Amino acid sequence: MTGVNLRGFFETSRSAVAAMLSRDGGGHVVNLSTSLVDHANSRTPSALASLAKGGLNAVTRALAIEYAARGIRVDDRRTGQRDRLPRPGSLGCG
C-alpha cells in the first residue's frame, strides 16, 4: 500500500509539473496529507499513514525547492482529527 500511495502521488505531481513547464512555468501543486504524521495519538492507528504521508511530505518539500525558481509552488494540506469539531462529552467540549 505504501508503494502505491507514494508512486501515485509522485507520478501525479510529476505530470502536473510537466504540464506547467510546457506552458512556460507557473502553477500550484497541492498534495493531500494527514496531521497524524506530526500528531500521532493512541486512539488512531497511524504508523502506516505516517510512513506513507511522511514520505509524501518530504518529497513535497523537495519539489517545492526544485521548482520554486520556475514559478511552480508545491505544498500540502494536512487534514486530520484536529480539523474535526469535538463531539459532546469528549475532551475539549464543555
Residues 32-83 have pLDDT tens digits of 887 777 777 777 777 777 777 888 888 889 999 999 999 999 988 877 645 4
Instruction: Give the number of other Cβ atoms within 10 Å of residue 2's Cβ.
Output: 13
pLDDT score, position 1: 65
The CATH number of the structural domain formed by 2-80 is: 3.40.50.720
d(CA 94, CA 71): 47
Instruction: Give the number of other Cβ atoms within 10 Å of residue 46's Cβ.
Output: 19
d(CA 84, CA 57): 21
Domain boundaries, the chain: 2-80
The residue with greater pLDDT, 68 or 89, is 68
Query: Whole-model pTM?
Result: 0.71
**What band does 90 get if pLDDT is binned at 50, 70 and 90?**
very low
pLDDT score, position 91: 46
User: Within 13 Å and on the Cβ side, how many CA atoms surround 91?
Assistant: 3
